[in-house]
Chains A and B, each alone.
Chain A
């Protein structure tokens, strides 16, 4: 299966959310320090950032610049040392672990570099997982979870392998399942940490095409951490970090990313 085929699939297309609403992500004065045995390591030294709904943002920077930490904080996977994060209008600073998990379930999709599928579940069950975790029909607004899971698997070209376990899939296939999972409950925000980092060029390209096309169709705000220049060139906005600070923030082709393709 190739990404080009996906365009023909019948997938519900959602228009981007109105710009009149609050920004998707608002970050102010964000710092993160970790005490080590000998001294304190400041990973983030004051980040201020606003990402609009529907934007496709690439976060770049050398190793140790704090990009993955920033992404983790945005997802509420860790608590900041200071500063504030507002996701889709909700302040997540100071939320306890469980409330954070619930909010994440509704608002944030995540794609990891090393896929992180549950080995005990089949491809389809993995995709269905966020839907089940958010309590099925109720909050996610999806009427038929299993149907959507199959549609998503079909759009990443893995419908025929839906009963396979992760170990029976190649790296590229696992990442495609992870993509389908990330979009399962239509989260307004999708965070991706080097999603192609563990894949070879061809598979990486395939996954990237899928990610971008799904993102366009679903109208999601996409924040992606990457080393890959080619990948970042597809983004509507490029933020570069160095030593825990934003050193550049460029917007280009803003229209391209927010406008759905026919």
Chain B
């Protein structure tokens, strides 16, 4: 009789020597029979670890590449960027450096229109003019067909990126027109080391020589162009620090970077992206860990008898716990190991998402730190979620084997309360554990790190509470609905969801999390684009003409007015590049300017007007009576606030190397619909007389007529750049798409993990299912019938998970868009429908993966096993 056996250890009883080794042995024996069931759990963990180590491995490889190839990525030891040409003094300073052995090359970057021929529609391209004999100092430009840049590029040739060829329907050897001049395409640029660092880089690339740039006539005084100087030190030249300091002194407004910094902006962006993607991966890993927890709970439940027997023959709860603890660790380890291998694959796929924007080739390689981190987190996560069932082992009484019938009775309230307290404690531990892991991913100040932990834990609680509540509600509704008049297969399928050990709720949560994440990202991405499209109100210009030479100004405007589809008169402003030197005697370089306000240290586009335009609202002060007289300026409200400018203030300017002193006459504000709102300083006409002017124009045209306008303008004024807002939106959309693609790629793993959890749950109920299939067959059910019942179960489960995931995603996305963009709320009907259907199919596939062999079972084999 079992109750005659000691329920506690006594000295000398064999089981007292219950070492870890014994526990190991029993754990191994025990798990052999459950290998199929655990296979899926291991996979679920592996998916999470794979995405985590993939992201982090890639990030580390990227960091290492930045460090090791710093000179190559800059193509120089030092780079200096300005938005205007050097003054004679600056030129002589550069020449002095050359004499000291510091080699230098000059790069100009700008945007312009290019076309295959005069008749063909043009497109916006980013031009980079280089000296192919010197550039790049480090690394190389790779062309296809292969050729050294120094030989390939001449004043008549260009090298272009693949998208130029694609969109203009050109091939290498063809002619392309830039600024009205033909250039022969000598090759496709396949690798450009310093692309990451350039400005105005979003559009497709056209690389040419300086002679070519001059021939095309793309740069006029005042044109929107970035000038970059690259420097290479020689052994005889001064060190990098003195050179940098001399440059800083000569070009106080320039952006100077040297290779030692390994690109602070890129590094910072990379760190942030890594943290974010790691957290998304962590969610996937949490789903996997929930799987471990659920599987262990079911496993322990099935082993209640064995546990009771072990306790009867003298095992302590702690002994039994050891067995299942070891199994959990083994599952976490196995999942971690498989995941690390999987992560290498993810790491390889990753660069393809970013290749378009970063010229990078980080090599995917085995990284011990990332792998160890991934495995460690897998084990920790598995342990955290297995905590509740492990603690539950203590409650299994040895007497259980004597009174099986009592198993289903509900415990009394004090017991339930005690259990709830235990699970709350376990929940808190889980939460703290994951907040800790999340914090380990964060970078930045301690405050940032704390905040990451807090937010992650908060989001975790909110998401899982919401999902669990919705899952519970939906299961309730289903249960009630299934009592109604439904076909028998459907009813049986639905009732399968409530089978003991089916874990419908945790499967729903696991699958729902993935759907929620992926869809939220999709909806936010689309919401942003839609909002951008929507929020250009009628009357807002949708075409901008850039870099109109003074001689072309009137002809361009005439041509525009004759074009079909142009609404209203185009707005034109002439601008001059001017840099603020000081305000009321205080040099602008010494002002405490932060963030975007630092733009006032660089040259700004300014304009002039005689009479006050009707769209200007005077905030303070008075407009000048006559356009002539002493230089005066009217300042935009925001600029006035940042620079502490009042009517009557004195401002000093540097314009084309000349000093100009102005008195502030007024503070104004302009409705952002107007082009002039982009110009913050309006001078009186005489103040800017004699300076090189470049004209900008904005107009509104019916979207369908814009290509014709572009073509007409390009034919007569090839140097005028026409920016179609639709094109700009397309470029922004491209960037947003790319980012969300990466995030979705990572968040898709969460869906995968959820599907694997479903498989695991189905595999866990395999024996029960097998028996039921056999009973059904004995009672006359065909295989088709049985498969229908199962399919209904999986499809309903998937559809419900898809529905709740997408409903919550819709809610979250609306909330985010409302917060970020003040966007209109909408119900994304199509995405929800697609998610529901897709999740149902994924669930069906996952369910069948774990139950296919069951269908073919011969009834007698199973019935005899009873």
A interface, CB within 8 angstroms of B = 68-69, 72, 75, 77-78, 97-98, 101-106, 110, 112-114, 116-121, 125, 129-130, 132-134, 167-168, 170, 181
Contact = CB atoms under 8 A, between A and B. Distances in A.
Contacts of B778: 75, 77, 104, 110, 116
Given A102-B782, A113-B866, A77 B859 contact: yes
A120 B498 CA distance: 7
Secondary structure class of chain B's binding surface, majority of residues:
helix
Contacts of A68: 864
Given A77-B778, A101-B777, A105-B779, A116 B863 contact: yes
A170 B406 CA distance: 11
B408 A167 contact: yes
10 contacts: A72-B859, A72-B864, A78-B859, A78-B860, A110-B778, A121-B495, A125-B495, A129-B779, A133-B779, A167-B500
Contact of A104 (B407, B771, B780, B858): B780
Interface in B820-866: 858-861, 863-864, 866
Contacts of B407: 167
Interface string B772-810: 100111111111110000000000000000000000000
B632 to A, nearest CB: 87
A184 to B, nearest CB: 9
Ranked nearest first, the 10 interchain pairs of A and B with the lowest CB-CB distance are A105-B780, A132-B488, A78-B860, A77-B859, A98-B782, A72-B860, A77-B860, A120-B495, A120-B499, A114-B866
B863 A130 contact: no
A110 B858 contact: no
Given A102-B780, A133-B781, 12 more contacts: A68-B864, A78-B858, A78-B861, A101-B781, A104-B779, A104-B780, A118-B776, A130-B779, A133-B488, A133-B785, A134-B780, A167-B408
B781 A105 contact: yes
B492 interface: yes
B625 interface: no
Nearest to B491: A125
B864 A110 contact: no
Interface string B386-407: 0000000000000000000101
Nearest to B768: A119
B496 interface: yes
Contacts of A181: 779
Contacts of A103: 780
B783 A97 contact: yes
A16 B785 CA distance: 32
A168 B495 contact: no
B863 A133 contact: no
A125 B408 CA distance: 20
A159 B405 CA distance: 22
A133 B780 contact: yes
Contacts of B499: 119-120
Contacts of B775: 116-118
Contacts of B780: 101-106, 130, 133-134
A105 B772 CA distance: 15
Given A75-B778, A110-B778, A167-B500, A116 B771 contact: yes
Contacts of A113: 866
Interface residues of B, number: 32
A120 B785 contact: no
A134 B488 CA distance: 11
B786 to A, nearest CB: 9
Nearest to A106: B780
Interface in B143-179: none
Contacts of A110: 778-779
B791 to A, nearest CB: 16
A106 B782 CA distance: 12
Contacts of B496: 120
Contacts of B784: 98
A120 B790 CA distance: 13
B495 to A, nearest CB: 4
A102 B784 CA distance: 11
A113 B499 CA distance: 22
Nearest to B771: A116
A125 B777 CA distance: 16
A56 B421 CA distance: 59
Nearest to B496: A120
A244 to B, nearest CB: 16
Contacts of B858: 77-78
Nearest to A134: B780
Contacts of B772: 118-120
A134 B780 CA distance: 7
A78 to B, nearest CB: 4
B864 A121 contact: no
Contacts of B768: 119
B685 to A, nearest CB: 87
A200 to B, nearest CB: 13
Nearest to A181: B779
A68 B777 CA distance: 18
Contacts of B783: 97-98, 101
Nearest to B859: A77
A69 B491 CA distance: 33
A120 B492 contact: yes
A167 B410 CA distance: 13
A196 to B, nearest CB: 15
A95 to B, nearest CB: 12
B777 A72 contact: no
A112 B862 CA distance: 12
A36 B102 CA distance: 87
A77 B771 CA distance: 13
Contacts of B863: 72, 77, 112, 116
B813 to A, nearest CB: 37
Contacts of A119: 499-500, 768, 772
B146 to A, nearest CB: 65
A98 B784 CA distance: 8
Given A98-B782, A110-B779, A119-B500, A170 B405 contact: yes
A111 to B, nearest CB: 11
Q: Which of B488, B491, B496, B780 gathers the greatest number of chain A CB atoms within 10 Å?
A: B780
Contacts of B488: 132-133
Contacts of A69: 860
Nearest to A198: B866
A18 B500 CA distance: 46
Given A78-B860, A170-B405, A133 B776 contact: yes
Contacts of B498: 120
Interface string B486-516: 0010011001101110000000000000000
A251 to B, nearest CB: 29
A189 to B, nearest CB: 13
A17 to B, nearest CB: 20
Contacts of A98: 782-784
Contacts of A125: 491, 495
B779 A121 contact: no
A132 B499 CA distance: 20
A114 B777 CA distance: 16
A13 to B, nearest CB: 24
A121 B499 CA distance: 9
Contacts of B491: 125
A198 B863 CA distance: 14
Interface in B745-787: 768, 771-772, 775-785
Contacts of A105: 779-781
Nearest to A122: B495
A125 B781 CA distance: 15
B440 to A, nearest CB: 44
A243 B785 CA distance: 38
Nearest to A191: B778
A109 to B, nearest CB: 9
A168 B772 CA distance: 18
Nearest to A97: B783
B751 to A, nearest CB: 27
Given A112-B863, A116-B775, A101 B782 contact: yes
A19 B781 CA distance: 30
